[in-house]
Amino acid sequence: DQQVKQNSPSLSVQEGRISILNCDYTNSMFDYFLWYKKYPAEGPTFLISISSIKDKNEDGRFTVFLNKSAKHLSLHIVPSQPGDSAVYFCAASSYGGSQGNLIFGKGTKLSVKP
Amino acid sequence: GAVVSQHPSRVICKSGTSVKIECRSLDFQATTMFWYRQFPKQSLMLMATSNEGSKATYEQGVEKDKFLINHASLTLSTLTVTSAHPEDSSFYICSGVGPQWTQYFGPGTRLLVL
């Protein structure tokens, strides 16, 4: 049973527009959420995180929103750029992200078209 | 950001042989390192948690005698796949807990067992 779900395997967006990547989770014990970006044959690169005590965290073009009641988080990229094309993984932790499992979703492949 | 390296990046071996993968934190000390495995179109799955100076903790379903982990220093952890078989072919990724209690991932090692 998947505890972290990314229901869209792929997303295509025009350059300059907003990209919205969604993630749902089932475990109410998760208290820390992270987004990673991954290129083929490379390890994931940390993008942005959010603690369960917040509902929004922003870093440049990247914003993560957390809706605890819906057990849903999303990553917004504005404006989208061709270099953002990659697979994006949502991950969750019940240890503040520093120790223990990071439970990953299956990823969403984002394609940003020029 | 914190940098984690892995060596080798790609390895092909014959069935029955052993393969060692090194994971190094280059600019930070990692008391804890994690080893993940990713099969095609699947999530990254945690295999084991490696703590410097002590025995690794393995996730359910991961054979500790097959996947030997050694974390001899604060910057180096090794994963040895013993008597590798074709079903062990996968993408192996390590991570270290770095600044701001975030996991930083290595670039991964692609293992192909013939």
A40-71 tens-digit pLDDT? 878 888 899 999 999 999 999 999 999 999 99
Q: Which residues of A15-31 are buried (b: 16+ CB within 10 A; e: fewer)?
A: eeeebbbbbbbeeeebb
A97 touches chain B (CB under 8 A): yes
- From CA A9, how far away is CA A5, in angstroms rounded? 10
**Does B61 score more than 60 pLDDT?**
yes
- Dist. CA A38–CA A105, nearest whole Å: 13
The DSSP annotation for A54-84 comes to: -SEEEETTEEEEEETTTTEEEEEESS--GGG
The yes-or-no verdict on residue B38 having pLDDT over 60 is: yes
Task: Note whether B29 and B74 are within 8 A (CB).
Answer: yes
Chain A residues 33-62 within an 8 A CB cutoff of chain B: 34, 36, 41-46, 49
Instruction: For B10-30, give the DSSP string.
Output: EEEE-TT--EEEEEEESSS--
Q: Among A2, A32, A46, A50, which would you mutate to test the B interface (most chain B Cβ atoms within 10 Å of its Cβ)?
A: A46
Closest-CA distance, B42 to chain A, in angstroms, reads: 5
Residues above pLDDT 90, as percent of chain A: 79
Q: Dump strand ranges (E) for chain A.
A: 4-5, 10-14, 19-25, 32-38, 45-51, 56-59, 62-67, 72-77, 86-93, 103-104, 108-113
- Over the stretch B82-92, which tens digit does the pLDDT of each residue have? 999 999 999 99
Q: Find the radius of gyration of the CA atoms of chain B.
A: 13
- B104/A46 Cβ within 8 A: yes
For residue A97, the chain B residues in CB contact (below 8 A) are 101-103
Please state the rounded mean pLDDT for residues B75-101. Answer: 91
Average pLDDT over residues B99-104: 78
Average pLDDT over residues A22-37: 94
Residues B93-114: what's their mean pLDDT? 88
- What is the reported pLDDT for B111? 96
CA distance B83 to B17: 5
Instruction: For residue B103, name the pLDDT band (cuts at 50, 70, 90).
Output: confident
* Confidence at residue A54, expressed as pLDDT on a 0 to 100 scale: 94
pLDDT at B100 over 80: no
Note whether B97 contacts A: Cβ–Cβ < 8 A: yes
Rounded Cα gap, residues A112 and A103, in angstroms: 26
